[in-house]
Amino acid sequence: MPVHELTIRNGTVVNAGETFRADLGVAAGRIVAVAERLQAGERDIDASGRLVMPGGIDSHCHVEQLSSMGVMCADDFYSATVSAAFGGNTTIIPFACQHRENSLLAVVDDYAQRAHAKAVIDYSFHLIVSDPTEEALERHLPQLIRRGMTSFKVYMTYDRLKLDDYQLLDVLAVADREGALVMVHAENNDMIRWIAKRLLEHGHTAPRFHVVSHTPIAEAEAANRAIAISRLLDVPIVIVHVAGIEAAQAIRAAQTLGAQVYAETCPQYLFLEASDVDLPGVDGAMLCCSPPPRDKASQEAIWAGLANGTFQVFSSDHAPYRFDASGKLPRGGDTTFKEMANGVPGIELRMPLLFSEGVGKGRIGLNEFVALTATNHARMYGLYPRKGTLAVGSDADIAIWNPETTRTAAWSQLHDNVGYTPYEGRTITGWPETVINRGRVVISDGTLHAAAGSGEFIPRGAPGPIARKAQPTPSMRLFKSLIT
C-alpha cells in the first residue's frame, strides 16, 4: 500500500533559503515527508526537469470590492481565485473595505460570505480602515484581529478614504497594542488634488494627465511622512505599491537607520512606463493606476530594490475594472482622468512575469523569487510556516514550474473577467504547470480541478518580522512608559 496520498518526485525543491533535490510526500493536506527518495504515493507526480516551489501568496489584490467611487471590481472571488491559481498562487489576501459610516464587522461578515461560496484556493482578509471611530478602534478592530485578520490598510489619498496624520497615529497605536500590521498607500492627496484641478481647468482631461497629477513628489513626500509617523511610535508599517525612485530611496534610507519600514512593489512598476499611458482617446485608462508607472530610471530603481532587500514582497495589486461604463469609463469617451476607476489587472501574470524577467535574466535568484512571491508574504502577514515554505508540517501548497515553457501573454488565455491585460504580447519564459493547494491538485494540464467554495479562510497570527527590530528613541521610550 502507498504510504502517501500524493507524492511529487524527481524535482528540484526551491525554498527561500535553499535549493535541493528531494521528493515530497503529502497526506491530509500537509507535507509529511521531504526525502531524497520516496515510494510512489496513491497519486504520483513526476517532476523531472521541474522546479517545485511553494505556492504563491498574493497579499495585495482587490476582489469583489466596491471602490470609493462606487464601482465594483470585475472579478468576484471565483474568477479572481481561478485566475490566481493558474498563475501559481495558492493563497490570496484581498481587502474587506470599510467605507465611511460602515461597520467593520458588517463589512467583514458580508465579505466572508462572498468568499466562502466562491473561492477555489485559500484566502484571508486585510481590512481597509477609512472611518476610525472610537467604536472601530477600540471594539471592532481588536475583535477582528483576534479573528485572524491581523493587518489593515490605510490611505493618505482619495477624498473618501484618506486619513489625516492624527488618525494615522490612532490606527498605528491600535496596531501596536493589538499586534497587527499597518499597510500604507502613500501619496500626498492635496498635491494631487491641486494639480488635477488646474489640469482640468485648462482642458487637459486625457488619461495621460492622471500620471501628471500623481507626481512622484507626492509619493515621495507621503512615504517620508508615513515613515516619520511610524518612527514616532516605533510601530512597523508596510508602504505598498511603491513606484518611484525617490520613494524607494526614502524607504531604503529609513531601513538603513533601523526603522521598522517594509515595502512592496508590483508588476506595473517593472513592466510599464508613464509614456505607455499616452494612447489615443481614452485607451490609456486601461493602464492607469495609483501611483502610476514612472520612468525608466524608476524601473531600474525598483529592480535594484528587489535585489537588495528594500522590497520584501512583490504583489499584484490586482485592481480589475473593465474598459467600459461599468468600470474604467463611467462617461464613456467623455470620461476625464479624475473620473476613471483606478487600477490594473495582474493576479495571474504576477509570478510568471517576475520569473521570466527576474530569474530568467539574472536580476534575482530562484530563492529570492520564492521569498518575494511567497515566503516573505507568509512571514509578514502571520501565515508562516503553515504557508510559504515546503517543509514537514506545512500545508501542501505547491507550484510545479517548467522553467523552459515560453508563452505570449494574451488576455484571451487568462482567466480573469477584466477583458484586457496591460502585458499583451509580452513573451514570458517559465510557467507553473501544476498547482496544489492543501494537497488538492487545483491546476494540471491547463485545466481547473477545484470547485467554487473549496478554498478555505485562513486565520492569521501575529505579523512576523523580516528585518531588524528598531530601538525607540529615549524620548519615545519615556513617552510610552507614561501612557501604558
For the chain, give every domain's residue range.
55-372
Q: What is the pLDDT of residue 471?
A: 52
Q: Residue range 198-205: average pLDDT?
A: 98
CATH code reported for the domain at 55-372: 3.20.20.140
| Range 138-158 average pLDDT | 97
Q: How much is the mean pLDDT over the chain?
A: 95
Residue 469: pLDDT band (50, 70, 90) is very low
The pLDDT tens digits of the residues spanning 280-312 come to 999 999 999 999 999 999 999 999 999 999 999
Write down the pLDDT at residue 436.
Answer: 99
**Number of Cα atoms under 13 Å in the Cβ half of residue 387:** 34
User: pLDDT tens, 408-462?
Assistant: 999 999 999 999 999 999 999 999 999 999 999 999 999 999 999 999 999 999 9
Give the pLDDT band (50/70/90) at residue 3. Answer: confident
Question: What does the pLDDT read at residue 468?
Answer: 38
Pairing type for strands 181-185 and 151-155 reads: parallel
Tell me the C-alpha distance between 436 and 29, whole Å: 10
Whether the bond into 291 is cis, omega within 30 of 0: yes
Which pLDDT belongs to residue 478? 67
34 neighbors 24 (Cβ within 8 angstroms):
yes
What kind and span of H or E run contains 475? Answer: helix 474-483
pLDDT for res 101: 87
- Long-range CB pairs of 28-31 (<8 Å, 24+ gap) are 28/439, 29/395, 29/396, 29/438, 29/439, 29/440, 30/393, 30/394, 30/395, 30/396, 30/438, 30/439, 31/390, 31/391, 31/392, 31/393, 31/394, 31/395, 31/396
Tens of pLDDT, residues 389-417? 999 999 999 999 999 999 999 999 999 99
Cell (9 digits) for 11: 524535482
Q: Are strands 56-61 and 43-46 parallel, antiparallel or unpaired?
A: unpaired
Nearest to 22 by CA among 443, 398, 441: 398
Confidence of residue 474 (pLDDT cuts 50, 70, 90): low
Q: What is the pLDDT of residue 470?
A: 47
% residues pLDDT > 90 (the chain): 93
Q: Which residue type occupies 398?
A: I
Q: Beta partners for 318? A: 61, 344
Range with lowest mean pLDDT among 11-25, 76-90, 356-370, 467-481:
467-481
Residue 323 DSSP SS3: coil
Crossing angle between the packed helical segments 104-118 and 77-86, to the nearest 10 degrees: 60
In SS3 terms, 96-133 reads as EECCCCCCHHHHHHHHHHHHHHHCCCEECCEEECCCCC
When pLDDT is averaged across residues 321-347 and rounded to a whole number, the result is 96
DSSP state at residue 444: E
Mean pLDDT of all residues in 327-355: 97
Average pLDDT over residues 226-243: 97
pTM score = 0.96
Q: End-to-end CA distance of the chain, in Å?
A: 60
